[in-house]
Amino acid sequence: MLACMETYIQAPRRPPLFLRLMLGLVERSMGKPLIANRILAHYPKAFWGSGILEALVAHDDREVPRRLLKLIRMQVSFSVSCPFCIDMNSKEFSGEGITEEEILALRGMRSLAETASLTEAERAALAYSRAISATPVAFEASMIAELRRHFSERAIVIIASTAAQVNFWARLIQSFGVVPAGFTTECAILDLEAYSTRR
């Protein structure tokens, strides 16, 4: 149902050539059209700035491994209610060892503390990611203490910048009215319809 909806803004018909070439490369690597990126072509500075942000954010790190970064991306996507982001950031979640029980915790349908498969460090990072995604942003001293117990300052910067990057894209994508692109086939557990902000 979401997939048939049009965006609030249409992409420009003929963006600059170099921008079209770059967009073509990115879409080929993703295997799907990236409608928000196409819309950004109306203002190339935003297109390039967003692309640089995406290119430089961590996707795997010795202190913050790929699984945790994927959990953070999924958590933020659910927290800010972005169906496109949930769809994209959940792609092949089981390949990172993320279970359906963990997805229910990310969705807030069970507590992080009750999800035995999450490590204490993962729980701390996910609670921090939820706080980064809340409005207003507020951090309990106990949350920060728990985060610092598990992560170095460098790792906290990676966690925070990853959560902030997903927040950026989620707010942008939602403001354009972009709907899921079909990155994942495991949509039942993700329940994308429940996260639509379109009224």
> Domains plus CATH for the chain?
14-56 (no CATH), 66-195 (1.20.1290.10)
Q: Residue 23's Cα: distance from chain center in Å?
A: 19
Instruction: Give the pLDDT confidence score for residue 120 in this predicted structure.
Output: 98
What DSSP designation does 11 have?
Answer: P
**Mean pLDDT to the nearest integer, 13-26:** 91
pLDDT cut 70: percent of the chain above it: 96
| Whole-model pTM over 0.85 | yes
Higher pLDDT, 140 or 184: 140
Q: Name the nearest CA neighbour of 30 among 81, 80, 88.
A: 88
Q: What is the 3-state secondary structure (H, E, C) of 157-184?
A: HHHHHHHHHHHHHHHHHHHHCCCCCCCC
